[in-house]
Amino acid sequence: MFLSDNHQMDKKDKEILIQLQKNGRMSISELAEKVSLSDTPCLRRVKKLEASGVISDYRALLDNKAVGLNVHVYAFVKLQANTDKLAEQFESSVAELDNVLECSVVSGSHDYLLKVVAKDLEDYERFVKKSLGKITAISAIESTVVLKQNFHKTQLHI
């Protein structure tokens, strides 16, 4: 993987990424110590990883149940037709919906897979009828409710 013109990611860059995935809030001094670098070279590497887009953002991960979002649903969506216009309409509309955490184009009998959260099943039903179902590009929605999530990873294996 290249970070910039002919500069390839090395072992130290990967160590930095592994540590930041574990704790994105650690100080540069703490990070530098963990990857056996001094502060200035470590900061330079972090800035290069950010500038190249390898590090895209820093966020706090929330527990959906702790904030009252107890239902997790995968919604398979089929569009009325496979056209650029309908896809753009759908994608821009669904990006505005707070309940939708992820939107992926998929192969097979459906066009999109949405990851959706809701307070409860009634809240999800309202969401489908009043928000998602109002998007005119959609011809069908098939929902799969997650009964139990065994694990959820946020760290990429690099």
Residue 135: φ, ψ to 5°: -75, 115
In this prediction, residues 120-136 reach a mean pLDDT of 97
Can you tell me the distance from the alpha carbon of 129 to that of 126, in angstroms, rounded to the nearest whole number?
5
For the stretch 72-95, pLDDT in tens is: 999 999 999 999 999 999 999 999
| pLDDT number for residue 8 | 85
For the stretch 52-76, pLDDT in tens is: 999 999 999 999 999 999 999 999 9
Binned at pLDDT 50, 70 and 90, residue 146 comes out as very high
SS3 59: coil
